[in-house]
Chains A and B, each alone.
Chain A
Amino acid sequence: MDFAIDVDGLVVRRGGRTVLHGISTQIPAGSITGLLGPSGSGKTTLMRAIVGVQKVAGGQVTVLGKPAGDPALRQSVGYLTQAPSVYADLTVRENARYFASLYPGITSADADQAIVDVGLGDAANQLVSTLSGGQFSRASLACTLLSKPKLLVLDEPTVGQDPVLRDELWKKFHDLAAAGATILVSSHVMDEAGRCERLIMIREGEIIADDTPAAVRAKTGTDDLENAFLTLIREKVAA
């Protein structure tokens, strides 16, 4: 199988504390993988290591065949930070067009399309500082999608969005994956887990499940992924 991401024995220490304890996982190309776990479990740190912005203490991360953070990857990896990272004192369109201009071959039309894709077509000329919280994070998402990356690393992209929009965003992610993109999306909401093709469940810097949602359900004997997660934690604690 072709892997878009290969994490091998990744160790990350932050502020004297070990955040990731030698994690290993492989993420197939063209898939949607959910990264699930409670707040503080190491989801963001793992994503940052994959994008190549995290200092690592050990292990290897290979992304699209290159070491994570390789300059050649900057065009093909799109990263959505958990806190929206766009300029509050620019309009949505100005933000998108600026970020589009940083990528070779990406045009203003791509920027405008990404704005429509995240449902901000009507707010394109609005200053980001005047947007609602949900719109603010979608403006940030638009700036990640516009470069048409081969790998999308999305840190909680659907938090605070209304259910209809959340559904539309997930459809968009599936469209992108169908077109060949690999998507790694984190969430602490278990009801989103069912929308992923694969799940990586992480707790206190260790992977406690790495499988398809169906396999996780079967293994734990429950249909509810929230309960499945609990069962896995209890098994781990008991072991």
Chain B
Amino acid sequence: MNGRRLFNTTGRVLGQLRHDKRTLAMIIVVPALLLTLIYYVFNHNRFIFNHVGLIMLGIFPFVLMFLITSIAMLRERTSGTLERLLTTPIGKMDLLFGYALAFGLVAAVQAGVLTAVAYWAFGITIAGSVWLVVLIAVADAILGMALGLLCSAFARTEFQAVQFMPAVVFPQLFLCGLFAARDTMQPVLGAIAKVLPMTYAVEGLEQIGANVTPTAIMWRDFGIVIGAAVVALALGAATLRRRTD
């Protein structure tokens, strides 16, 4: 890896976002509006909002980063810029981690704003540290980014790319414990849930919500989410071929 190439790639990706002010605004504002919606859906039921709202702090960054990255990477492929990049001295890891750093920074801002809204506007009650919530939310965003990047390799068109979102994200959402406790599901589904990374993202947030000090389970979950992101990035790197048909 090469620092200059990596950081310049990060700068370039952020520069593209800077010229697209509406996208940037949506990244920050849309999750906060959705959280507001959820708050009023569970009108006066603080207990449910404390649970669902907290989980949403991790899920929104995951979903948004998945979508944005899969489209950004597909654009790199279809515009020919990826092929050009792969004829330059840039390493695949410089490119992937350059992206990861750029979107990770954006995700940190997004998660920070979202958590601030949950905390100050809606008085969400979290037993543990708010900073840990932001940390897990950023890890979720990086996981979403890494999966989006991997999935974009299997999409030929934008129509296909956007459909990977429901295909990859929704099952994780249904099985992660948000809709039903995992031990009450049909046992096969409960077992599948155990190998899906979002399950651990949600469990990690629940741990922070319920415990004053960070628990070992929370750190394990954080490790699993980051580990899954690294595996997805490595698989994504394998899909970046310098030589094509």
A residues lining the B interface (CB < 8 Å)? 14-15, 51-55, 69, 71, 74-75, 77, 79, 81, 83-91, 94, 98-99, 101-104, 127, 143, 147
Contact = CB atoms under 8 A, between A and B. Distances in A.
A77 B8 contact: no
B44 interface: no
Given A53-B86, A102-B5, A127-B19, A85 B79 contact: yes
Interface stretch (B50-58, B125-133, B237-245): B237-245
SS class, residues of chain A in contact with chain B:
loop
B87 interface: yes
Question: Size band of the B side of the interface?
Answer: 20 to 34
Given A81-B80, A85-B83, A89-B19, A53 B12 contact: no
A101 B5 contact: yes
Contacts of B194: none
A94 B12 contact: yes
A102 B90 contact: yes
A47 to B, nearest CB: 11
B186 interface: no
Given A90-B12, A102-B8, A85 B88 contact: no
A101 B90 CA distance: 9
A1 to B, nearest CB: 27
A143 B84 contact: yes
26 contacts: A14-B245, A53-B87, A53-B243, A54-B244, A55-B244, A74-B89, A77-B87, A79-B87, A85-B79, A85-B81, A87-B16, A87-B79, A87-B81, A89-B20, A90-B15, A91-B19, A94-B15, A98-B8, A98-B12, A99-B88, A102-B5, A102-B85, A102-B88, A103-B89, A143-B84, A147-B88
A69 B241 CA distance: 12
A25 B72 CA distance: 39
A75 B81 CA distance: 17
A66 to B, nearest CB: 14
Given A52-B87, A103-B89, 6 more contacts: A74-B87, A79-B84, A81-B83, A90-B15, A98-B15, A104-B89
A124 to B, nearest CB: 15
Contacts of A15: 245
Contacts of B245: 14-15, 54-55
Interface string B55-87: 000000000000000000000000111011111
A52 B242 CA distance: 8
SS class, residues of chain B in contact with chain A:
helix
A101 B7 CA distance: 10
Contacts of A52: 87, 242-243
A196 B108 CA distance: 54
Contacts of A98: 8-9, 11-12, 15
Nearest to A73: B87
A37 to B, nearest CB: 21
Contacts of B9: 98
Interface in B185-215: none
A53 B16 contact: no
Nearest to A81: B80
Contacts of A101: 4-5, 8
Nearest to A83: B80
Contact of A85 (B8, B84, B243): B84
B7 to A, nearest CB: 9
A54 B244 CA distance: 5
B226 to A, nearest CB: 28
Nearest to B90: A102
A15 B244 CA distance: 12
A127 B20 CA distance: 11
Select the residue from A77, A87, A127 with max chain B CB neighbours within 10 A.
A87
B8 A86 contact: no
